[in-house]
Amino acid sequence: MASSSGLGKAFKHLDLDGHELPPSPAPSSPSNGRKYALATELVYTESNDQYNASSVPIYQSATFKGGPGQEYDYTRSGNPTRTHLERHLAKIMNANRALVAGSGMGALDVITRVLKPGDEVVTGDDLYGGTNRLLTYLKENNGIIVHHVDTTKLDVVKETITEKTTMVLLETPTNPLIKIVDIAGISTIAHEVSTKIIVAVDNTMLSPYLQNPLDLGADVVYESGTKYLSGHHDVMAGVIGVNDLQLADKFYFMINSTGCGLAPFDSWLLLRGIKTLAVRMEKQQANADAIANFLESHGFKVRYPGLKSHPQYKLHWSQARGAGAVLSFETGSIALSERIVESTKLFGISVSFGCVNSLISMPCRMSHASIDPAVRKERAMPEDIIRLCIGIEDLDDLKDDLSQALVRAGAVKLTDNGFTALSADALEEAGETGRTTQVTDEP
């Protein structure tokens, strides 16, 4: 009888046949309860515990005493720390209701459980590897028809969405090719075909600090809280924001039924991380912008929406307030990319992004390795692509580390003015033969 929407009344849960729809929590005010600027709202979570604790308490309890009618009975169904987080998230995601799951993939699993055999999903051809894996599973085992198309092309999306479409699943910027997808444009196209089509947007690459898909016409926003929201590589979490309260009830039903709700301690960690989201993001994207320019000025083809050279620069800035801190670039050679990645000292070789420390990876070997190599080829995913996820470190330290790695790997040559990327031919040769420039251990 407990509700994860919480601090309100107990309600009956929706059953699988759709009976007994629970009363949803009242939608917040038009500004979704926001009184202050987002950076301020991120910091303030009103704790209503009996001791006026400044930090929301962790209710590390599986059960709650009292019997029927009480607010909480069992943490799988609802927990005060989780409720607190969900209310806070609803405010910052501009959603009528937010829900939290044990990971970003857990959140997507909850969302896609509304799909039935025969339903059609229209989605992108540059998707996070785990998302691609789940959709492939649903296609092969649950009778869901999945269309992967270039979602940067509105005409292609328009041709693919039909009355049979029940969900449109978008990522923007995409991971790792950093393509931009027109959220408002696609939402309009989908809803013109049917208002029942659920447009769901993965907002992991920017966080609610920089982009609010619900304000652009999407029906559902979700993201991996493992990234920017938590920000320290120490918690796995997934968040969902939705305006339609009946849809929210369905998602809540799934979270309660499958037991994938976020644990109290992880909810607390996420609440703590969110307080510093604005400062982390500002610093991370300032660093990322400088590094993107630094690599571009030395001749690399860099993918980053903060660069004017990004082919969809205008579209990105029409729907987002910043460029985030993930960028990618190619070298022309897998071997050369491997040497660069392995030559960094400060950049950790790791999957994930959005956290305080900088990371470097080769997506085709790591985060996107679960995509069949033939499919990667079909979708023109460059095998040599390097992804940089920028943290809050000192910018000069980051640049120095990248410079020494590029030199050590033979991707650049040293000149009096610093270093210059090699020509395509020289890079190709460097990729095959190895280092072209003598370097000392401490450049």
Ligand X SMILES: N[C@@H](CCSC[C@H](N)C(=O)O)C(=O)O
Binding residues (CB under 6 A) for ligand PLP: these are 103-105, 128, 130-131, 171, 175, 202, 204-205, 224, 226, 236, 238
Express the helix, strand and coil content of the chain in percent, nearest 5 each: 35, 15, 50
State the minimum distance, in angstroms, from the CB of residue 290 to ligand PLP: 23
Cβ at position 132, least distance to ligand X in Å: 10
The C-alpha torsion from 225 through 231 and 236 to 241, rounded to 10°, is -10
What b-and-e string marks burial along 62-73, b requiring 16 or more CB atoms within 10 Å of the CB? Answer: eebeeeeeebbb
357 binds ligand X (CB under 6 A): no
Site track 333-352 with ligand X (rule: CB under 6 A), x = hit: ------------------xx
Instruction: Choose among ligand X, ligand PLP, none what residue 171 binds, the Cβ cut-off being 5 to 8 Å by kind.
Output: ligand PLP
Residue 370 interacts with, from ligand X, ligand PLP, none (CB under 5-8 Å by kind): ligand X
Q: Which of 202, 219, 289, 401 is catalytic?
A: 202
Query: What is the SS3 assignment for 53?
Result: coil
- Report the site for ligand X in 143-182 (rule: CB under 6 A): 175
From 128, 209, 222, 304, active-site residue: 128
**Is 175 or 287 the residue whose CB approaches ligand PLP more closely?**
175
Which of residues 326 and 430 has its CB atom nearest to ligand X in the complex? 326
CA dist 5 and 14 (Å) reads 14
203 binds ligand X (CB under 6 A): no
Give every CB contact of residue 443 below 8 A, 6+ residues apart in sequence: 400, 403, 404, 407, 408
Question: Is there binding between residue 443 and ligand X (CB under 6 A)?
Answer: no
**Among the listed residues 82, 93, 100, 81, the one whose alpha carbon sits nearest the alpha carbon of residue 34:** 93
The kind and range of the H/E element at 387 are strand 386-389
Number of residues counted as binding ligand X (CB under 6 A): 8
Please identify which of the residues 227, 280, 283, 303 carries the catalytic annotation: 227
Task: Answer for the pair 437, 428: CB distance below 8 angstroms, yes or no.
Answer: no
CB neighbour class for 324 (10 Å; exposed up to 12, middle 13-18, buried from 19): buried
Q: 387 near 227, Cβ under 8 Å?
A: no
* Distance of closest approach, residue 68 Cβ to ligand PLP, in angstroms: 35
The distance of closest approach from Cβ of residue 277 to ligand X in the complex, given in angstroms and rounded to an integer, is 18
Q: Between residues 57 and 130, which has the closer beta carbon with respect to ligand X?
A: 130
Active site residue 76: yes
The verdict on whether 228 is a catalytic residue reads no
Active site residues: 76, 128, 202, 227
**Which residues would be at the binding site for ligand X (CB under 6 A)?**
128, 130, 175, 351-353, 367, 370
